[in-house]
A and B are shown apart, each in its own frame.
Chain A
């Protein structure tokens, strides 16, 4: 979240789309009801299902799963064509006025530079026109035909109401209400927030779903404001933390990059990742990339990281392609992987196309599972008639189960969606021989080191060099680890208090630069529990620690105009007054600069402004475009039938054969979580199992009647990849939609099917899902695929 949970109370319009906050984030959702009751906020919910969030909405609009971009680009067109735009904000704080290269183009579903053979773009033309100093050219009048504003207008022109609703299936009247509610916040005294989660990421164009919304927020001037922002709701208490720590396959902690094989030296890597300013006078904060990177390497390798050995850069793996979980499973499937360590995930039930994954794990020599439960992953080799049909005797994979603790059995910090790092204490001792993950991993490292020393082996240096100077090397304490994340001065071991202290010469170490300030010489800032809120706006500077540097609202320079005057007096975060900045939050800009000099709020961008035009950052293109899900219930793209789905998808060998057509599998299907459960974990928890003992498939009354299915009947749901048996929940909350001249029925399946828990034995929905996913992240399209359904006799 650019903002944080409490801040939602400051919103005037809350749009829940691509998520289901009431269902999946019921506690945080309390701030929505707070906004509704005490700030007279409107709640809009857009979702394929009338869900728990919709139950409290002022207005609910149905949408066909996988058509969010069309929906949102239609909103953009509406805002522009009705002049409901915060033009002062757009002109000052976005790249609307920037000129784009003449060779950039979009035609019939494809941007310029498409290489059909490779299935990817040459992105050369996706850039600004530069002047002789290397700065982007701008036209502040927004009249130049090549300025982003005019290209954007041209791009969204196709998304009129009739076209959008023909794609999304949203009734026009509902669409109008949603557009008007969003548009109402273009004024300076009204702000909207969008709350989204996996409902936007779990698509073959997830990143572009989110970008489309961010563009709306820029048009309305809603980023950097109290009650506004771009707010990803994280599904697990510490998903934000794991992402910060480099969860993605090409990331290192603090959103630094794992090097690729085109960057053979540290100098090459730093040069490729340290941006040059694209406009004069920029903060361009990523110019500090080398300081953060070298400090990370110092934290990794300690005294072994020296300027002479490029601070150990050569010990990092260099990728040639994205090795995410999906890629690894595909490699296992092809017998190219010997061993796998599964930590913090029930892989066999969580990853798509379960039947393929069973084969993938069966090809391993060994599988190590760190978990606090006996998950289906650890028992994938056990035959369970109906649910996990395997030939146990033919599986040679040796499985090691290492019982781990749960968060409540250890102390440490958890980072919530709002970037708050909150320290917690141990609530209970772990049972039996369970150990914390850090103790288990330390054991593995020390044993590897011993084996290398005694038996030798290839590339022993990184294992030998790892900085492991903990009081007990077998069990580093959470305190030692978090102090290391914060960073310290190498010579004096003094804890740093800001990442501004980090240097690129090896004199500082920080294992996650964005966490600098969380554990300073003043102690553990994450353990602070002063909930005093002096402004009454939910900014509680003494409660825990919000990265970066305890800022509660990111990009808060954008809360006031170019001259430092807040857009709205009641929404003041910072203000230029009597020759200095003052306010209720830590400024997210260089507060030594005057308003005009600091009027580039998006300091992480090389041009300091928000981007309608995303340059070369995403694989699909610099503007979002509607592409159908990989499995589309209409089988075409009404905008450009020649380019139905995203043209840059990653197709593993043989996957095309696992994609169904609407003729064989006529119904759209989506998957989701229920409030009663957390993934598969709580299916082992008795109270949660009592509250929701069994999974089901939700379907509308019309489809059920056509198929002769009654509420509670057993049904068989099948996709091209497999089938499951489950019970039907026939409900008014699902409804058929009229799309491109046909009726589209959507089915919905909760994702909590387990077969070795306290709940009723059930199939995992991931028997049905496809491994096709977002080209940028590899996140699978769990939310939109095709199935068939029929009544079953059990």
Chain B
């Protein structure tokens, strides 16, 4: 973790600024998934397991080409298959499902543990499993339902964008293995440029609603998706308007700061009180003190 390019850490007070020295020189990267070029071959899914040494259980047929049934600690990339009828024409849509690497990651925000989730200067969101305590806040906060908690070690896992490959100048393994050019990788700027060009081409080819899925609710994503119909991302099993859950925002942006303020304020008031009023005198602590009941009883007896 001596990369010195971490720009955000979970569970860390904003008062401690992240390393900044190298950040200016690091470009934002992005993975571009073009659903209109994907043939659903699962090379990305298998390459992900191969590179990251993941071996999910051999499952069973569940009424779909999609296998395993869902993302898991042993499956970080999953192809999803949906049959859609659009104006009488059938479309078999494939979704490359993996971490979206949000610019504003809900998982990182929700994480309770210092440095268990980090964001690198290039924009990727990474889990440091050694620090993970398995609270599951990331999993419940993620609007894309990506992080999964392992039943074996009770830690959260997800796509790292092959951060180990990126560190030595390679593209993620899914991109490397893509057979049709549906997955591309590069600087965010380049990918946005290519995407815009491609979307225009698609519109000329008759996909009037083609567009780029790069939801603003999470600050934009490090995986960009070109969809045949960007007005209906639900048909790709993608949320229409993903947001960081209100509870996470409230907790991180309001309750926690308020908590900090509250803590400081309490301390300040205490100090002020000490200076102005002096220390509190508690009767019970004084020598010769008698509890009130005893006192009352004694007074009663005296009257008698």
Contacts and interface: CB of A to CB of B under 8 A. Distances in A.
A55 B36 CA distance: 9
B41 A690 contact: no
A692 B43 contact: no
Interface in A336-382: none
Interface residues on B, range: 35 or more
Nearest to B205: A58
A558 to B, nearest CB: 30
Interface string A525-550: 00000000000000000000000000
A52 B37 CA distance: 11
B37 A22 contact: no
A37 B65 contact: no
A264 interface: no
A712 B63 contact: yes
B96 to A, nearest CB: 14
Interface in A742-757: none
A712 B61 contact: yes
Given A33-B180, A37-B37, A691-B46, A732 B85 contact: yes
A763 to B, nearest CB: 13
B39 A689 contact: no
B39 A694 contact: no
Nearest to B94: A55
Contacts of B56: 690
Interface in B58-115: 58-65, 67-68, 75, 83, 85, 90-94
A692 B36 CA distance: 23
A727 B75 CA distance: 24
Nearest to A676: B42
Q: Is the interface of A mostly helix, strand, loop or mixed?
A: mixed
A711 B63 contact: yes
A29 B92 contact: no
Contacts of B75: 690
Contacts of A22: 39-41, 180
Nearest to B198: A37
Contacts of B60: 693-694, 760
A693 B40 CA distance: 16
A696 B64 CA distance: 10
A730 B201 CA distance: 34
B67 A53 contact: no
A13 B93 CA distance: 23
Given A26-B180, A52-B39, A690-B56, A732 B61 contact: no
B50 interface: yes
Interface string B180-222: 1110000000000000001001000100000000000000000
A448 interface: no
Given A33-B181, A686-B55, A727 B46 contact: no
Nearest to B85: A732
B179 A690 contact: no
Contacts of B45: 691
A34 B63 contact: no
Interface in A665-722: 674-676, 686-696, 711-712
A27 interface: yes
Interface in B130-187: 179-182
B41 A52 contact: yes
Nearest to B57: A690
Contacts of B50: 687
A700 B68 CA distance: 24
Contacts of B181: 30, 33-34, 37
A688 B46 contact: yes
B49 interface: yes
Most-contacted residue by chain B among A29, A33, A58, A759 (CB, 10 A) = A33
Contact of A758 (B37, B58, B64): B58
Given A687-B49, A690-B55, A691-B42, A731 B83 contact: yes
Nearest to B56: A690
A307 B265 CA distance: 110
Most-contacted residue by chain A among B50, B58, B94 (CB, 10 A) = B58
A251 B131 CA distance: 66
A178 to B, nearest CB: 15
Contacts of A23: 39, 41
Contacts of B58: 686, 689-690, 693, 758-760
Nearest to A32: B180
A484 to B, nearest CB: 36
A56 B39 contact: yes
Nearest to B206: A58
B67 A52 contact: no
A690 B50 CA distance: 12
A374 to B, nearest CB: 18
A729 interface: yes
A686 B60 CA distance: 13
Contacts of A675: 39-42
A341 B36 CA distance: 47
A519 interface: no
A565 interface: no
Contacts of B63: 711-712, 727-730
A690 B43 contact: no
A693 B179 contact: no
A55 B62 contact: no
Given A29-B39, A687-B50, A733-B83, A696 B61 contact: yes
Interface string A52-89: 11111010100000000000000000000000000000
A694 B61 contact: yes
Nearest to B93: A55
Given A686-B58, A690-B59, A729-B64, A50 B180 contact: no
A667 to B, nearest CB: 20
Contacts of B62: 712
Contact of A33 (B37, B42, B64): B37
A96 B229 CA distance: 48
A408 to B, nearest CB: 15
A688 B59 CA distance: 11
A26 to B, nearest CB: 4
Contacts of B94: 55
A696 B42 CA distance: 18
A759 B46 CA distance: 16
Contacts of B205: 58
A118 B65 CA distance: 48
A432 to B, nearest CB: 23
Given A758-B58, A760-B61, A693 B41 contact: no
Contacts of A26: 39, 41, 43, 179-180
B180 A29 contact: yes
A596 B73 CA distance: 69
A217 to B, nearest CB: 25
Given A687-B50, A692-B65, A760-B58, A29 B42 contact: no
B92 A690 contact: no
Most-contacted residue by chain A among B59, B63, B67, B181 (CB, 10 A) = B63
B61 A55 contact: no
Interface string B291-303: 0000000000000
Given A26-B179, A37-B201, A55-B40, A733 B61 contact: no
Most-contacted residue by chain A among B39, B40, B91, B92 (CB, 10 A) = B39
Contacts of A731: 83
Contacts of A27: 179
A695 B181 CA distance: 28
Contacts of A729: 61, 63-64
Most-contacted residue by chain A among B64, B93, B180 (CB, 10 A) = B180
18 contacts: A23-B39, A26-B43, A26-B180, A30-B179, A30-B180, A33-B37, A37-B198, A53-B39, A54-B92, A56-B36, A60-B90, A686-B58, A687-B49, A690-B56, A695-B61, A712-B61, A729-B63, A733-B92
Nearest 10 A/B pairs, CB to CB? A22-B39, A712-B63, A694-B61, A26-B41, A55-B92, A711-B63, A26-B179, A33-B180, A675-B41, A689-B58
Given A693-B59, A760-B58, 7 more contacts: A34-B181, A37-B181, A60-B90, A674-B65, A676-B67, A690-B58, A727-B61
